Amino acid sequence: MSTKLEEMLEAEIESRVQVRVAEILAEKDAKEKKELNPSDIAPNGKLITPLLFCGKKYLTRDQVEDLFGVKYPALWKWRKKGRLGYRKLGGKIYFDYDEIKSLMGC
């Protein structure tokens, strides 16, 4: 076979594999969304997946911003006033998932 033909075949195979991987991921996402509690989806439509550290679930700052529809300055004020508990892990701030859910009334 010529090199050009081999390259074309490889490109076609790679393209088909990429399409199939995208289909599998889309099916997985659809299945996960069916199993989700509506409170796991932020008002802006983003999926909120908590991180697990030492058996507890935590949310990142970005996830909490999405859930409450606020920006960082509001979260900072809430933290400083003691309205929102947080933990520093590895130099980053995380919020307790269960506490956030209770604040949201879920």
Q: According to the model, what pLDDT value does residue 37 have? A: 57
46 and 88 inside one domain = yes
29 and 66 inside one domain = no
Q: According to the model, what pLDDT value does residue 35 have? A: 53
Torsions phi, psi of 104, nearest 5? -85, -10
90 and 69 inside one domain = yes
State pLDDT tens for residues 7-41: 888 888 887 777 677 667 666 665 555 555 555 66
> Which percentage of the chain shows pLDDT scores above 70?
76
Q: According to the model, what pLDDT value does residue 31 have? A: 59
8 and 50 inside one domain = no
* Band of pLDDT at residue 52, cut at 50, 70 and 90: confident
14 and 60 inside one domain = no
State pLDDT tens for residues 84-93: 888 887 788 8
46 and 30 inside one domain = no
15 and 51 inside one domain = no
- What average pLDDT does the structure give for the chain? 78
Q: Give the CA distances from residue 43 to residues 46, 53, 64, 69, in Å, rounded to whole numbers and listed in that order.
A: 7, 25, 11, 7
16 and 29 inside one domain = yes
Q: According to the model, what pLDDT value does residue 100 have? A: 84
66 and 22 inside one domain = no
d(C-alpha 69, C-alpha 92), whole Å: 20
For residue 21, what are the domain limits? Answer: 3-35
80 and 51 inside one domain = yes
68 and 94 inside one domain = yes
Confidence check: pLDDT of 45 > 60: yes
Total number of domains in the chain: 2
